[in-house]
Amino acid sequence: PLGQEEFTLGGYERRTWLVGQGIFSGVDTGWIKVVATGPVDGFVLFGRGAMLAGVSALKGSGTEISFPHFHQDGQWWTGVALINTSLMEAETELSAYETSGDDIDSHEETLPPLGKWVGTVEGIFGLSGQGSLDASTAYFNSITGFLLFGTQDDSSLAGVPAETH
């Protein structure tokens, strides 16, 4: 881990941090795991130009995750993030499907323990259009992830967590 921060939140209390400045100073990118003795919820904000997109806290992980939609064309781009939540290296396979469900292509990636990998649908598969994605790993590993959608002119940005199976 890059570091640990311990704190206490009272009932219905909320707190906001700027990662890289407020906590984990000097860190440019990564992911945060929260361990709590009671229920907590949260989200992360991503920025690009004048846009912000919120992604709810990822709840759980599994050996298979799915992203029900991607949109990659001259106007839109789709970014993919996969996170290995296990303490072992995870061999993952990311697969793309047409809207009809037909297989387009797959990409294999090795994620280090607690590692994160990111890419765009265009960069990973060299394709444009619409469809869906899923990712899988071996039964003894666990992964999670999310998508970011944006317009090429930086007028829109949205984040969607993966569905865990």
Position 2 scores a pLDDT of 67
Q: Vertex 69, ends 75 and 116: CA angle to 5°?
A: 95
Top-confidence range, 7-11, 20-24, 50-54, 111-115: 111-115
**Domains held by the chain: number:** 1
Position 59 scores a pLDDT of 80
Question: What is each CA distance from 5 to 17, 38, 115, 135, in whole angstroms?
Answer: 11, 17, 19, 31
- Round the average pLDDT of the chain to a whole number and report it: 88
C-beta of residue 112 within 8 angstroms of C-beta of residue 60: no
Q: Classify residue 24: in a domain, yes or no.
A: no
CATH number of the domain enclosing 135: 2.60.290.11
Position 1 scores a pLDDT of 64
Q: How far is it, in rounded angstroms, from Cα 31 to Cα 2?
A: 10
> Residue range 132-136: average pLDDT?
94
C-beta of residue 24 within 8 angstroms of C-beta of residue 30: yes
* Residue whose entry in the numeric block shows the structure tokens 């290995």: 84
- The single-letter DSSP state of residue 73 is S
Q: How far is it, in rounded angstroms, from Cα 88 to Cα 10?
A: 34
Position 76 scores a pLDDT of 92
Per-residue pLDDT tens for 21-47? 667 677 666 777 888 888 888 888 877
**pTM of structure:** 0.81
C-beta of residue 156 within 8 angstroms of C-beta of residue 93: no
Q: Classify residue 100: in a domain, yes or no.
A: yes
Residue 140 has pLDDT above 90, yes or no: no
For residue 106, give the 3-state DSSP assignment: strand
Q: With bands split at pLDDT 50, 70 and 90, how would you rate the model's confidence at 57?
A: confident
Domain region containing 75: 64-164
Q: Classify residue 91: in a domain, yes or no.
A: yes
Q: With bands split at pLDDT 50, 70 and 90, how would you rate the model's confidence at 49?
A: confident
Residue of 146 and 36 predicted with greater confidence:
146
Give the helix/strand (H/E) hosting 157.
Answer: strand 157-161
Per-residue pLDDT tens for 70-111? 999 889 999 999 999 999 999 999 999 999 999 999 999 999
Q: Classify residue 89: in a domain, yes or no.
A: yes
Residue of 25 and 118 predicted with greater confidence:
118
Residues 6 or more apart whose CB falls under 8 angstroms from that of 145 comprise 58, 65, 67, 80, 81, 82, 83, 135, 161, 162
Q: Classify residue 21: in a domain, yes or no.
A: no
Q: Classify residue 20: in a domain, yes or no.
A: no
Q: Classify residue 73: in a domain, yes or no.
A: yes
